[in-house]
Amino acid sequence: MSENFAGLPGYRRFLAALDSALRRCGPRKRVGVVLVRARHVQEIKASHGYECAEALVRTLAGRIVRVLRDNDEIERIEDSCIALILPDLSATAQAELAANGILAACQQPYEAGGDRLSPKVSVGVAIYPTDASTSGDLVRCADIAAAEATDTPAGYAIFNQAMDQTRQSQRSYQLERELEGAIGRGELHVCFQPKVALRDGALVGAEALLRWTRADGKAVPPDVFIPIAEQSNLIVPLTVWTLNTAMRACSDLLESDPGFSIAVNLSPVALNDPDIFALIAQAASIWCSTRQQLVLEITETALFRDPVTALRTLEEFHGEGIRLSIDDFGTGYSSLAQLARVRLNELKIDRSFVNGVTRIERNMQIVRSVIDLAHNFGLTVVAEGIEDDETYACLAALGCDHGQGYYIARPMVTDIFLEWAQTGRVTRPALDLA
């Protein structure tokens, strides 16, 4: 049993000890993971001082040690959080018994500077292999249960999947509420990632990528908030906002260079919205010198989710002169023959094939045949995710038309992108400043 209740290194030690307990776990046995969160530690720090709060957590740890079995393990993984491993359990009920014992021991009164405190803890339990199979996931499950325990009279909770779903839907509901007001609060902005002609490195366009930085300074990745926007009715206003913002920011470039285009991602939900064509066509009429300066990037899955509506809308875009690009090509299941039914202009080879094209023969074969086939269909081919000079040179040699990726430039905020576009290089770091 570890007597060392240090801060964060404790968490790493705990995960290592848990990994080894999981490896030792016999066929019909279970391992219990228990998190004990001391509550009101901040308040105690404020009222009785840091030393008192620290002594309280240490005392709780000492009390817990006394109710544990010899082969149980204990580690302080955070300021106010103690984590336990209960190996060799035959039934979940044993972990419940342990949780009860821990609670009773922790709730004994505690003397602090003449005051008698009644320590409060929340105890969460997760069981291997029922709840999760890896150490990190088990801790996460126990943590969710501990948060749930705060609201229960028992003071402890055993993890169940419903808790996880409830938490996740609460979290996305909260994000959805915040996202609703994010435009108004100025928390959204658009970054630009250049697309260049691989032959000579000339700038041919840029992909507009949406960024959300919340009021607390934390960035929420698009992979998280785009699905939330899709589930609510926010994706269409967000798409239109992104398009208008991106085109306004690049209006000088659009005016001076008819060959320059802005690509905007069109999610499957947006593509199937009845108003989307009119909204996008209107934005294009405001900002574009020629409609070909707008490219809509659509994934394969978007095309086949509701093919009748999708194909009709894409026909409308095509009729308007707006260009269509198939994004992440290779990750879906469509063949180029199926795609031939759509009036596409561009195909973007997914970065999972591009990455490793110089090292993995199979990637090289796939990329080569995609380029040849796409050219036969009259499509411009873009390789996304080019991260080094060898990949760049290899794709150029294979006849790929355009490229995009960290090697060329990362997504950049407007000012830095415009400078990059002017000079072909940046004087400040080309970081994705999201």
Task: Give residues in contact with ligand C2E (CB under 6 A).
Answer: 193, 209-210, 221-223, 226, 239, 242, 265, 267, 297, 327-328, 351, 385-387, 405-406, 411
Q: Which is nearer to ligand C2E, 209 or 394 (CB)?
A: 209
Q: Which is nearer to ligand C2E, 135 or 391 (CB)?
A: 391
Ranges within 291-310 binding Ca ion (CB under 5 A): 297
- State the nearest-atom distance from the C-beta of 191 to ligand C2E, in Å: 7
Q: Pick from 259, 255, 182: which is nearest to 216 by CA?
A: 182
Alpha carbon distance 418, 200 (integer Å): 19
Site string for Ca ion, 349-388 (x = CB under 5 A): -----------------------------------x----
Secondary structure class of 187 (helix, strand, coil): coil
Residue 330: phi and psi, rounded to 5, are 110, -20
Strand partners, 208: 192, 264
Q: Pick from 161, 135, 116: which is nearest to 18 by CA?
A: 135
The dihedral formed by the CA atoms of 154, 157, 162 and 166, expressed in degrees to the nearest 10: 80
Q: Which is nearer to Ca ion, 124 or 385 (CB)?
A: 385
- State the nearest-atom distance from the C-beta of 431 to ligand C2E, in Å: 11
Q: Which is nearer to Ca ion, 102 or 383 (CB)?
A: 383
Q: Pick from 407, 363, 366, 401: which is nearest to 385 by CA?
A: 407
- State the nearest-atom distance from the C-beta of 410 to ligand C2E, in Å: 7
Q: Contact between 346 and Ca ion (CB under 5 A)?
A: no
Q: Which is nearer to ligand C2E, 113 or 221 (CB)?
A: 221
* DSSP string covering 86-135: EEEESSHHHHHHHHHHHHHHHTS-EEETTEEE---EEEEEEEETTT-SSH
Q: Which is nearer to ligand C2E, 273 or 316 (CB)?
A: 273
Alpha carbon distance 138, 421 (integer Å): 48
User: Of the ranges 165-173, 263-271, 278-286, 426-434, which one interacts with Ca ion (CB under 5 A)?
Assistant: 263-271
Q: Which is nearer to ligand C2E, 11 or 407 (CB)?
A: 407
Residues 5 and 79 sit within 8 Å (Cβ to Cβ): no
- State the nearest-atom distance from the C-beta of 411 to ligand C2E, in Å: 5
Residue 193 contact, options Ca ion, ligand C2E, none, Cβ 5-8 Å cut-off depending on partner type: ligand C2E
Residue 75 contact, options Ca ion, ligand C2E, none, Cβ 5-8 Å cut-off depending on partner type: none
Retrieve residue 199's tokens.
């032959």
SS (H, E, C) 349-416: ECHHHHCCCCCCHHHHHHHHHHHHHHHHCCCEEEEECCCCHHHHHHHHHCCCCEEECCCCCCCECHHH
Residue 401 contact, options ligand C2E, Ca ion, none, Cβ 5-8 Å cut-off depending on partner type: none
Q: Which is nearer to ligand C2E, 148 or 207 (CB)?
A: 207
Q: Which is nearer to ligand C2E, 101 or 227 (CB)?
A: 227
Spell out a b/e string for 24-35, using b for 16 or more CB atoms within 10 Å of the CB, else e.
ebeeeebbbbbb
Alpha carbon distance 229, 205 (integer Å): 26
Ranges within 192-221 binding Ca ion (CB under 5 A): none
Residue 222 contact, options ligand C2E, Ca ion, none, Cβ 5-8 Å cut-off depending on partner type: ligand C2E
- State the nearest-atom distance from the C-beta of 332 to Ca ion, in Å: 12
For the chain, the distance separating the N- and C-terminal CA atoms, rounded to the nearest angstrom, is 44
- State the nearest-atom distance from the C-beta of 355 to ligand C2E, in Å: 7
- State the nearest-atom distance from the C-beta of 358 to Ca ion, in Å: 20
Among residues 135, 244, 261, 265, the one that binds Ca ion under rule CB under 5 A: 265
Q: Pick from 125, 136, 135, 132: which is nearest to 19 by CA?
A: 135
Residues 262 and 208 sit within 8 Å (Cβ to Cβ): yes
Q: Contact between 143 and Ca ion (CB under 5 A)?
A: no
What residues line the site for Ca ion (CB under 5 A)?
265, 297, 327-328, 384
